[in-house]
Structure 1
Amino acid sequence: SATTAAAAQESFSGAGHPFPTCFVCGTEREKDGLSLRPGAVEGRPDTVACGWRPRPELADASGLVRPEVVWAALDCPGGWTTDPVRRPRLLGRMTAGIDELPRAGADYVVVGRLDGVQDRTATNVTALYEAGTGRLLARASALWIA
């Protein structure tokens, strides 16, 4: 829910962020990035969530957020399902599907869940939901490499 995502987002400190200028979650990109702050969801191990309200400049002329921006929004929350401060990882591979593009100015929830860690790799899934209805708009699975 949007309420759960907002509470999780409050737990994101960004301290020690390994990539502070990241377009999606970088703490030094407040004005021109997505400003996603995926924090731990209480009672849900290995799960992070945050809210997202896409800015108009991220959309096309019809107000729909461009697909490459949706892919970006699905990227970083997965990286925060492990501890990127103590063991930074980079995205190795990601597969995504977009059922419906979000609208600029509307409220959404982005969720990431860790599937597993093996040696230097971590796998996770992420999803983008409409905040008011909980309707799934897009999802991804990814492999991250330390």
Structure 2
Amino acid sequence: MSETRQQRRARQRREAKDATRPGPRPPAASGGTAAKRERIIDVELNRTLFDDDPADVYVSWHAEWGIRDDSTGTEDSSEDLAELVAAVLEDLRSMAEHNTVRVEWTIGGDPPEGSTIEAEIAALGVTLPNEVTA
């Protein structure tokens, strides 16, 4: 049985409509999940030597961090550098669930006598990672 002129036109309209209708979205390249957006976090890490009172000399570490080019941020300080770095990384982990989080450390402050702050960080066994994972 051949199709009538009216059936043929209806079929052609359906085909034309189907051709312009968006089809199902292909899965994303990363296994069907949306691609993570990259966030760059600037961390300023400063070492401060408090030696005003010879009987009470100590070092304090201070960190300020936030998303690059954003006016808001977070800060914390501690006499224990490892504890401070752990607190910074813990704060950034929730962001790493949905973003690729890259960390850029800027180190400054009072260097130890006869050494550098970077050398003291290494001597304390603290690693400043360049990326944070969830």
TM-score > 0.5 by shorter chain:
no
TM-score computed with the length of structure 2 as normaliser: 0.26
TM-score computed with the length of structure 1 as normaliser: 0.25
Task: Give the structure with the larger helix fraction.
Answer: 2
Task: Name the larger-Rg structure.
Answer: 2
